[in-house]
Amino acid sequence: MNRAVHFQGVDVPDYEKVLNCMRCGMCLPHCPTYSLTRIERSSPRGRIALIRAVADGRLELTQGVEKELYFCLDCRACESACPAGVHVGYLIEAGRSQAERCRPHSFLDRAIKNLLFNYLFVYTPRLERIAFLMRLYQKTGLRKVVQKSGILSLFPAVFRFMEEFTPDGMELPLRRLVAEEIPAQGEEKARVGFFLGCMMSIFFGRCCRATIDLLTRSGCRVVIPKAVLCCGAPLASEGYRHRVPDLARFNIDLFEKQNVDYIVTDCAACGCSLKEYRELLKDNPQYAERAEHFSAKVRDISEFLASWPHYPKPVGGQMPEKMAGRGSGDGRNLNRPLRITYDQPCHLQHAQGISKQPHSLLKAIPGIEFVDLPESDWCCGSAGVYNITHYETSMKILDRKMDNIEKVAPDLLVTANPGCLLQLQYGVKKRNLDTRVCHITELLSTAQGNTIGR
């Protein structure tokens, strides 16, 4: 029986996966949007019910259905809570893809999305050109002039947010600076491919350098294919899932030529997307087996280091004050252990099931005080471009996160995803907290005695 009455073409939501939802409600306490609205359609099971109704022909693919699909953060906390193992993230992405292809949209909406997801994100150098303009805006002093002029107050809050959201001190994209192959420090134990994520390499090159340092210290020769394309996560999340197979095939071809033992990433969203290549291409006769082999090699950096027998123990002891917040990073000695907490990226914990590894790596650093963050598994509200498309909702979710951060008052707030880094840095700035936000590799590399992340 044909269930896809109002779904058509590619990326039709798998009806059997829709049926797996038992409507038990276990997902409800874990859904950020449901916790805000208490409206059933804004819950995971509510959205699945909408998808089923469209598939059954009982409901048109209306603007209201599309709105609910995009109101979801795609944080996948519901997947961690679901006793039936429903892949809600996949269903949401497939539903969004249908909405983008089958529903009428205004010329402006279509033009903006095509610019982002059919042009910029499919070719990394184009993103780097945008980054060049952002660096120019900073380095010429124009940013300070704009911020002091008060002109930003004339624009809607979301535009002011976008201006403040960009981190200071942007460097050249790491892809232009790093060598394509870096030898191991000491005896070589493995040949590791490093997946150079778009946002990480553009906004957080220092974190990527720290990742490379950790790998080479662990006896890995690091191979960095510079021609790598976007992993596909931004496109899949925003309704352009049909473009991801092209990126996947290209990246698989590229890394196959490198003959690496592992493929490591320091971006939670990238790791999730790369591991899903096996599912994405399972019906492609030329790539199904190759995608399975590729995805089996993918490791998040914390996942890799926690299980790698050659990862050296951190020396600790001389953790610099500059790793801490503003009040303790002005050259004075802390005279106490560095107080650290960790916020779990959704695509690391919920999508990949990686939670214990980052905690164990951080707690193994000598001379620190590790404190658990309440609701560390709760989304920060970044969720790709959600903080732009749903600014007010994103800020409410961020407020809940910042309330918990204030409770533990850390010197250093650690996370492992570029979107989370930017969102949390914004939250710390707005709350005027004496806390620094950093990527986990910055701290781990510093604990090894490296100065890259300082």
State residue 412 phi and psi, 5-degree precision.
-135, 125
pTM over 0.85: yes
Of 67, 1, 80, 7, the residue nearest 346 (C-alpha): 80
Tell whether the torsion through CA atoms of 306, 360, 354 and 418 is positive or negative.
Answer: negative
Helix (H, G, I), strand (E, B) or coil at 283: coil
For residue 158, what are the β-bridge partners? Answer: none
Helix axes 440-447, 356-363, angle to 10 degrees: 30
Residue whose pair of structure tokens reads 């983008």 in the numeric block: 100
Helix axes 142-149, 124-139, angle to 10 degrees: 70
Predicted pLDDT of residue 374: 97
State residue 414 phi and psi, 5-degree precision.
-105, 140
Residue whose pair of structure tokens reads 């071809």 in the numeric block: 253
CB contact at 8 A, 98 and 43:
no
Predicted pLDDT of residue 283: 93
SS (HEC) of 82-104? CCCCCCHHHHHHHHHHHHHHHCC
Give CA torsion, residues 83, 292, 275, 50, to 10 deg: -50
* CA–CA gap between residue 451 and residue 453 (Å, rounded): 6
Domains of the chain: 15-102 (1.10.1060.10), 107-165 (no CATH), 174-307 (1.20.1050.140), 321-447 (3.40.50)
Helix (H, G, I), strand (E, B) or coil at 437: strand
Going by their DSSP bridges, the two strands 220-223 and 181-182 should be labelled as antiparallel
CB contact at 8 A, 363 and 313:
no
Q: Which two tokens stand for residue 6?
A: 């109002």
Predicted pLDDT of residue 297: 98
Going by their DSSP bridges, the two strands 368-370 and 338-342 should be labelled as parallel
Going by their DSSP bridges, the two strands 298-300 and 368-370 should be labelled as unpaired
CB contact at 8 A, 134 and 126:
no
Residue 323, exposed/middle/buried by CB under 10 A (0-12, 13-18, 19+)? buried
Please report, in tens digits, the pLDDT of each residue of the chain (454 residues total). 445 557 887 788 888 899 999 999 999 999 999 999 999 999 999 999 999 999 999 999 999 999 999 999 999 999 999 999 999 999 999 999 999 988 888 888 888 888 888 888 888 888 888 888 888 888 888 888 888 888 877 778 877 787 777 777 778 889 889 999 999 999 999 999 999 999 999 999 999 999 999 999 999 999 999 999 999 999 999 999 999 999 999 999 999 999 999 999 999 999 999 999 999 999 999 999 999 999 999 999 999 999 999 999 887 555 555 566 654 444 445 577 899 999 999 999 999 999 999 999 999 999 899 999 999 999 999 999 999 999 999 999 999 999 999 999 999 999 999 999 999 999 999 999 999 999 999 999 999 887 554 4
Any idea how long the chain is?
454
* CA–CA gap between residue 95 and residue 24 (Å, rounded): 22
Of 87, 91, 84, 86, the residue nearest 69 (C-alpha): 91
